[in-house]
Chain A
Amino acid sequence: MAITSIKNLKEFSTNNDRFEGAHLLCPGCAHSMIVRELMNCTDDNLVIASNTGCLEVSTAVYPYTSWDTSWIHIGFENAATAVTGAEAMYKARKKKGTLKDPDAPVKFVAFGGDGSTYDIGFQWLSGAVERGHDFTYVCLDNENYANTGGQRSSATPIGAHTSTAQAGSASYGKKQKKKDLVAIMAAHGAPYVAQLAPNKWKSMAKGFQKALETEGPCFINTVSACTTEWKFDPKDTIHLTDLATDSLMFPVYEIIDGHELNILYRPKNVIKVEDYLGAQGRYRHLFKPENKHVIERIQKDIDENWAMLQRREEARI
């Protein structure tokens, strides 16, 4: 596999972009930062499929495409299925010797938002990983159905205001905890599973390269800050992602073969979760006195999760 140098940013920047501008994602959207970085991590040919979501509808507005690689526009749930189908056909044709260029390295990648990964496309993803195809699934987790107006998904954290779990006098927003999809995918026995963040560009690039290199199904959950639905200024996308990783709301870690957990980023100064919540409009109601218990609950969950991750890293289970 032709991996590109990620030793430092200067060397990384000599790559030629294969994700073009003039797509219709919001200004400051983290989706395109993540997608660009993945495509710059390798010189191999890429076959990509996208689940319906912001990324898909914004990068292929007829008659335009922003992709310089093979890219499949597919339904809400089945990017994993489509790309594994393409992978199976590629292998079959390679065996039969009907490929035009059989030696050209090809990687198969699927992109999905959190709605299509955590909820709607979950069984398809689960099936594709269970069948053991050689592909990488990247979830762009912005914690709601941002494409259709910010409805709650099972990735929305507790306490967040969404258009279908509204905060007001009767409710403090979503009442259920976020699903731990990374652990679920690791439990499938996938050889490489990780949670990465775009502000830590090097660990993200390393994770992408590892996933593309690894034979077998790999799953990567990436934090994608959503300026529209999280309600913050577009210029603060990276700053907010910094707050997310430093408050350990989104710990950055990888799980190899389902048991070997490595924490990839340990914040020097762990900040309180209030700093992260306070920077976003969707959590504004939590700072009312009657909702104080929700913030305490979130902080407690984060502390427990971090302690659990550290124990897992040590015990290798």
Chain B
Amino acid sequence: MSTGSALASNKRGIRELGAEEMVGWDEVQQGVVLPSFEGDAAGIVNMHAEERNYADFNSYTATVASWRVIKPVYNRDICIDCQNCWVWCPDTSIISRDKQMLGIDYDHCKGCGVCVEVCPTNPKSLLMFNEAEENDEALAGWPQKEKKAK
């Protein structure tokens, strides 16, 4: 599995959440069952997200990217793979594989900034930038290591 497929899975975030046509209150079926996966769901605990066969009902196929006004940008060069951001991300938006942090899932990230706050490196390997700013520009202007005040 290449790292590219983990970062950009073809089922993730393909629809804007709430973009589908609304049904009236009397048209909603009673006792609805929403299957999370197409076919058998056995063994999904051993599959990475990009290997799973998500059904259209799964919110994995939706995106909330439009909620964001600021976004976290990830700098691989400084990261120590401590996984603090992974454990505390409320939106399952930190992509980690084989104990390595790969990047941010911008389809599900809401830009809360918790990952930046819990990042222990100096300078931080995650920083918040304006949503409109390009990631390359953000990385080019990354701050230098802060020296301890004497």
Contacts and interface: CB of A to CB of B under 8 A. Distances in A.
Interface string A66-81: 1110000000000000
Interface of A: 9-14, 16-25, 27-33, 36-37, 43, 59-68, 101, 198, 201, 233-239
Contacts of A18: 44-45
Nearest to A14: B99
B64 to A, nearest CB: 5
B83 A27 contact: no
Contacts, number: 144
Interface residues of B, number: 55
Contacts of A62: 28, 32, 34
Nearest to B111: A27
A32 B93 CA distance: 12
14 contacts: A14-B98, A16-B44, A16-B47, A22-B60, A23-B59, A23-B91, A27-B110, A27-B112, A33-B90, A61-B59, A62-B32, A66-B58, A235-B113, A237-B112
Given A23-B59, A101-B42, A237-B114, 10 more contacts: A13-B99, A17-B92, A22-B60, A30-B90, A33-B89, A64-B17, A65-B59, A235-B128, A237-B88, A238-B117
B41 A238 contact: no
Interface in B62-118: 62-64, 67, 81-84, 86-93, 96, 98-99, 105, 107-114, 116-118
A101 B41 CA distance: 13
B99 to A, nearest CB: 4
A11 B91 CA distance: 20
B49 interface: yes
Interface of B: 13, 17-18, 20, 28, 32, 34, 36-37, 41-42, 44-49, 52, 56-60, 62-64, 67, 81-84, 86-93, 96, 98-99, 105, 107-114, 116-118, 128
Given A9-B83, A9-B84, A67 B64 contact: no
A239 B81 CA distance: 21
Contacts of B96: 13-14
A298 B133 CA distance: 45
Nearest to B87: A201
A193 to B, nearest CB: 24
Contacts of A234: 112-114
Contacts of A16: 44-49
A59 B59 CA distance: 8
A43 B47 CA distance: 11
Contacts of B49: 16-17
A16 B45 CA distance: 6
